[in-house]
Amino acid sequence: MHDNNHRWILAAQCPSRLGTVDVVTRFLKECRCYITEQHTFDDRQSGGFFIRTEFRPEAEGFDAEAFEAEFAARAAEFEMAFELTPPGRRLPVVIMVSKADHCLNDLLYRFRIGQLPIDIRAIVSNHPDLATLAEWHGIPYHHFPITAETKAEQEAQVWAVVEQTGAELVILARYMQVLSSDMCERLSGRAINIHHSLLPGFKGARPYHQAYEKGVKLVGATAHYINDDLDEGPIITQGVEPVSHTDYPEDLVTKGRDVECLTLSRAVALHVERRVFLHAGRTVVFDR
């Protein structure tokens, strides 16, 4: 786990051109900021440039507003969009869930021990089943039932929670409802979903049982940003776990749940640490 207590994060992207690395590193040097980690990527297909820099100020009295204003003037020449994240910031999030509790439990545990730098403002569900779990953690739980006839009304309730809590990220921790096109557009780039990832793909009910019947040798999971194409948004990270003929359907389910938990928490960590850039329908991910 990274130490968040003293590091600032500068994440930026712009068109590829000469001097993009220099404008960042030179400015940090002039501000007496020591670079502790840096990643860059130049996409020769799209002509996009991406940079993520962790740094610590060496001088006393670091002024974040002055830093941003002065760097914006330098970055303008490169059409560079950037974001400065202060040390120890906990991203406000809302978690959406249905009945399965494994991903929610995992996120709550990592949140509780401080492993994930998030602030869970609320949990939203279309079922009442996990209210007790939320109550134990002292987190507001909103039960919004949904039917085909009430979908628009239910999503309006969900959106109201997102706005009222100031959530900057929505985590779909096995939320088993398809979001509308309007909701996907509102949450574009700020909602992460998790689902099983099997080869070949098994759709419909009991996918792990279908996989068992075909004798699959890997189970996996995919974490991605949502979009209007079901389970086909820009991928953040994926995980796999080997299985064999000795694993029965219930074993595949268990291993699948474990992979889903690890993959989702990893995707959330990458997002909140500003390691993920969205560009041209894909992601650039600077891993840890």
Answer whether residue 2 is part of any domain: no
228 shares a domain with 204: yes
72 shares a domain with 195: no
Per-residue pLDDT of the chain (288 residues; tens, 9 = 90+): 445 557 999 999 999 999 999 999 999 999 999 999 999 999 999 999 999 999 999 988 899 999 999 999 999 999 999 999 999 999 999 999 999 999 999 999 999 999 999 999 999 999 999 999 999 999 999 999 999 899 999 999 999 999 999 999 999 999 999 999 999 999 999 999 999 888 777 877 788 899 899 999 999 999 999 988 777 899 999 999 999 999 999 999 999 999 999 999 999 999 999 999 999 889 999 998
Answer whether residue 3 is part of any domain: no
81 shares a domain with 131: no
Find the angle CA(268)-CA(273)-CA(278) to the nearest 5 degrees: 75
Q: Cβ distance 107 to 171 under 8 Å?
A: yes
247 shares a domain with 143: yes
Answer whether residue 222 is part of any domain: yes
Q: Is 231 a catalytic residue?
A: yes
Answer whether residue 146 is part of any domain: yes
278 shares a domain with 181: yes
Residue 69 backbone dihedrals phi, psi, to 5 degrees: -65, -45
Look at the block and give the residue holding tokens 């780039």: 189
Examine the fold and report which residue of 29, 54, 85 is the final residue of a domain before the chain moves on. Answer: 85
Q: Which amino acid is at 11?
A: A
Residue 101 and residue 260: Cα distance in Å, rounded? 11
The DSSP output letter for 5 is S
240 shares a domain with 124: yes
266 shares a domain with 191: yes
Name the pTM for this structure: 0.93
Answer whether residue 243 is part of any domain: yes
Residue 236 backbone dihedrals phi, psi, to 5 degrees: -95, -50
Write the CATH number for 33. Answer: 3.30.70.260
Buried b (16+ CB within 10 A) or exposed e, 88-106: eeebbbbbbbbebbbbbeb
101 shares a domain with 18: no
Annotated catalytic residue, options 119, 129, 231, 258: 231
Answer whether residue 154 is part of any domain: yes
211 shares a domain with 110: yes
Domains in the chain, number: 2
171 shares a domain with 142: yes
120 shares a domain with 79: no
Those residues with Cβ within 8 angstroms of residue 64's Cβ, 6 or more apart along the chain or in another chain: 8, 84, 86
Answer whether residue 223 is part of any domain: yes
Residue 129 backbone dihedrals phi, psi, to 5 degrees: -55, -35
Residue 157 backbone dihedrals phi, psi, to 5 degrees: -65, -45
pLDDT in tens, 92-131: 999 999 999 999 999 999 999 999 999 999 999 999 999 9
Write the CATH number for 110. Answer: 3.40.50.170
Q: Which long-range contacts (CB under 8 A, 24 or more apart) does 33-38 make?
A: 33/8, 33/57, 33/58, 33/62, 34/58, 36/7, 37/7
Examine the fold and report which residue of 85, 106, 132 is the final residue of a domain before the chain moves on. Answer: 85
123 shares a domain with 27: no
Show the domain range for 47: 8-85
Examine the fold and report which residue of 85, 101, 125 is the final residue of a domain before the chain moves on. Answer: 85
Strand, coil or helix: 133? helix
DSSP string, 69-132: HHHHHHHGGGT-EEEEE-TT--EEEEEEE-S--HHHHHHHHHHHTT-S-EEEEEEEESSSTTHH
